[in-house]
Chains A and B, each alone.
Chain A
């Protein structure tokens, strides 16, 4: 079936560093989303992207919808300890409200 591959799978970074992660697909999708999951919680929507090439920010987070509509990246600037968690990309399958989630990037921030 369709799959979204995220990289890196996990990363340790120092507090204050910038972080970059990406998400790729073999298929074209028209809506890309980024979620964060804290331990013991459900995922929370961070950013939604609706247009190829779109660059959207939410505080220290910036995400871009790839021009080919097969990828997206998420950047976090000046990371802080509460950025720890798992970041998932997701796409919406055409004609439905069903999501496909990426494999996840586990982020750990060292104070």
Chain B
């Protein structure tokens, strides 16, 4: 299965600033996703990162708040913009390969906004 490197692993940020999270995969993958896991909660899909085109966002998530890039088949970034304490969560990158159902997850970025 694919190996994912996600950076940073954690950060403490001031409200009103932005943080960009990177997801690097060791092989080309079909699909890349970004999830949010709020404290003590389950995982919620933010968006599907599409290679070479705009990401597809889920209900409740917008591009201005969570801009996503995917310049190639092995790399994606998620930016959390104009942060507030409510954005404090774990953000997870996940990938799936062609014909496979099982997601592989990165170890996540634990974000605290103060």
Contacts and interface: CB of A to CB of B under 8 A. Distances in A.
Interface string B68-95: 0000000000000000000000001010
Nearest to A47: B102
B45 A98 contact: yes
B96 A97 contact: yes
A1 B41 CA distance: 16
A40 B109 CA distance: 9
Interface string A48-73: 10100000000000000000000000
What size tier do the contact residues of chain A reach? 20 to 34
Interface string B18-56: 000000000000110100000001111100100000000
Contact of B105 (A33, A42, A50): A42
A45 B102 contact: yes
Given A97-B96, A98-B48, A42 B107 contact: yes
Nearest to A100: B45
A97 B104 CA distance: 13
Interface in A19-51: 31, 33, 40-45, 48, 50
B101 A92 contact: yes
Contact of B102 (A40, A48, A104): A48
13 contacts: A40-B110, A42-B4, A42-B105, A42-B107, A43-B103, A45-B102, A48-B101, A48-B102, A88-B43, A98-B48, A99-B43, A99-B103, A101-B43
Interface of B: 4, 6, 30-31, 33, 41-45, 48, 59, 92, 94, 96, 101-108, 110
Given A42-B106, A43-B103, A48-B102, 14 more contacts: A40-B107, A40-B108, A41-B108, A42-B94, A42-B105, A42-B108, A45-B102, A45-B103, A88-B42, A88-B43, A92-B101, A99-B43, A101-B43, A101-B44
